[in-house]
């Protein structure tokens, strides 16, 4: 049964399945351990503080540095390279960076595979650019749980993404900022999951988010969308056209929205994250708005953006620019129309 005016919001995900969990070394075997993958287009200067925090955490996760000071020194010396995740088939949320042994969700659609890293839970979390050491402990915990219990289940019985999207939409999610119902539907699909593991996944409503991101990345490639990569890096927002290697990127503003209590005056980071792929596939801020959507694919058509001179809205969390507070609010970002011309 279709909801929201009989629109099938799962249209872009026909045939998409979460079928595996694997380390980045297996998904991207040509990448060195000293390469970290970040959201959005390449940096042409220093990355912002939240990404530096996440990169430091990643180096500690990989045991490439003994402490935060050593990790920061390694990063600043050029001993580590930061590269756009989407150039390597990976999408990563907000400020989170992906290192070599981090586990990736793998979603396949028509031979195209999208990858995304696990998220450890609510704030404080790596995706918010947090420096708290507890983030690493929680990431190790969820990685062990997923690798030991969840991965064998999805390899045996891959999960249809369209079912998860339809269940989420029907229950009031838009499958980006609100994911609780989609997450519940996902956990219910993991037949044979232990009670304790299921409870842990249910306690993290964002667990489904990278699965939806990986599915959206695969869907964009499978649909032959003219846009192959889209996202922000906390400085610029950019797009990469199908078949192209270079990003078109423009200076980004911070998302606008609702701040957490007492944080209205905090300087916000410019738009960041690869989760824009979700909205580009008609979910998130595009739920209820279809004039930019290609009716044949269910994916935003850049030609419709330029002809209407109205850019799509994208759901994005608002992060502290200084990297001290992490998540400070939630809102929307609207990239310049000229980016799509």
Q: Are 50 and 40 in contact (CB under 8 A)?
A: no
Nearest in space to 108 (alpha carbons), one of 12, 186, 209, 19: 19
Q: How far is the CA of 252 from the CAs of 268, 290, 335, in angstroms?
A: 11, 24, 7
Q: What is the mean pLDDT of residues 205-214?
A: 98
Cα 297 from Cα 290, distance rounded (Å): 12
Mean pLDDT of 128-138: 95
- Is 170 domain-assigned? yes
Would 3 be classed as within a structural domain?
Answer: no
- Tell whether 275 is covered by a domain: yes
Q: Which residues pair with 66 in a beta bridge?
A: none
Residue 1: inside a domain, yes or no?
A: no
pLDDT at 3: 43
Average confidence (pLDDT) over 10-18: 97
Strand order of the β-sheet with 236-241 is 248-251, 236-241, 227-233, 272-273
Number of domains in the chain: 1
Q: Is residue 133 included in any domain, yes or no? A: yes
Neighbours of 339 (CB within 10 A): 20
The reply to whether 232 falls in a domain is yes
| CATH of residue 92 | 3.90.1700.10
Report the distance separating Cα 68 and Cα 49, nearest Å: 14
pLDDT of amino acid 1: 42
pLDDT score of 9 more than 50: yes
Question: CA nearest 184: which of 128, 113, 193, 19?
Answer: 193
Q: pLDDT tens-digit profile of 310-332? A: 999 999 999 999 999 999 999 99
pTM: 0.97
For residue 2, is pLDDT > 60? Answer: no
Percent of the chain with pLDDT over 70: 99
Task: Report the C-alpha gap between 329 and 318 in whole angstroms.
Answer: 5
Predicted confidence (pLDDT) per residue in 256-275, tens digit: 999 999 999 999 999 999 99
With a cut of 60, say whether residue 121 has pLDDT above it.
yes
Asked whether residue 235 is assigned to any structural domain, the reply reads yes
* Residue 236 domain flag: yes
pLDDT in tens, 242-253: 999 999 999 999
User: What's the mean per-residue pLDDT of the chain?
Assistant: 96
For 223-243, what is each residue's pLDDT tens digit? 988 999 999 999 999 999 999
Res. 309 pLDDT band, cuts 50 70 90:
very high
Write out the residue range of the structural domain in which residue 155 sits: 11-340
| Residues 53 and 130: beta-carbon distance below 8 Å | yes
Q: Given this model, what pLDDT does residue 224 score?
A: 82
Q: Kindly tell me if the per-residue pLDDT of 169 is higher than 70.
A: yes
Check residue 5 and give its pLDDT: 56
Share of the chain above pLDDT 90, in %: 97
> Comparing 1-5, 154-158, 207-211, which segment has the lowest mean pLDDT?
1-5
Q: For residue 33, count CB atoms less than 10 angstroms from its CB and return exposed for 0-12, middle for 13-18, buried for 19 or more.
A: middle
């Amino acid at each position: 049964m279709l909801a929201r005016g009989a629109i099938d919001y799962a249209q872009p995900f026909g045939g998409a399945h979460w079928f595996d969990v694997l380390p980045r070394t297996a998904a991207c075997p040509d990448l060195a351990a000293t390469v970290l993958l970040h959201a959005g287009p390449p940096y042409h200067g220093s990355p912002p503080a939240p990404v530096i925090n996440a990169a430091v955490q990643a180096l500690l996760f990989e045991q490439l540095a003994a402490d935060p000071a050593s990790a920061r020194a390694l990063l600043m010396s050029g001993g580590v390279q930061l590269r756009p995740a989407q150039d390597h088939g990976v999408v990563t949320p907000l400020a989170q960076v992906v290192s070599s042994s981090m586990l990736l969700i793998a979603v396949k659609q028509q031979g195209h595979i999208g990858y995304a890293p696990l998220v450890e839970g609510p704030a404080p979390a790596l995706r918010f650019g947090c420096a708290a050491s507890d983030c690493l402990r929680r990431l190790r915990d969820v990685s062990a749980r997923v690798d030991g219990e969840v991965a064998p289940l999805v390899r045996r019985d891959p999960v249809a993404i369209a079912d998860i999207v339809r269940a989420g939409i029907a229950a009031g999610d838009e499958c980006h900022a609100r994911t609780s119902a989609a997450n519940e539907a996902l956990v219910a699909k993991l037949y044979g999951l232990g009670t304790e593991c299921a409870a842990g996944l249910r306690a993290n409503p964002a667990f489904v988010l990278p699965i939806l991101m990986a599915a959206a990345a695969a869907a964009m490639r499978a649909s032959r969308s003219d846009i192959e990569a889209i996202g922000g890096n906390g400085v610029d927002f950019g797009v990469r056209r199908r078949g192209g290697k270079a990003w078109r990127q423009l200076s980004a503003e911070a998302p606008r929205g609702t701040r957490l209590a007492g944080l209205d005056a905090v300087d916000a980071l410019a738009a960041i994250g690869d989760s824009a792929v979700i909205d580009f596939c008609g979910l998130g801020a595009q739920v209820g708005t279809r004039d930019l959507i290609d009716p044949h694919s269910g994916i935003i058509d850049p030609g419709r953006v330029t002809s209407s001179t109205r850019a799509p809205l994208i759901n994005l969390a608002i992060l502290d620019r200084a990297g001290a507070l992490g998540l400070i609010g939630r809102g929307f970002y609207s990239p310049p129309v000229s980016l799509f011309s």
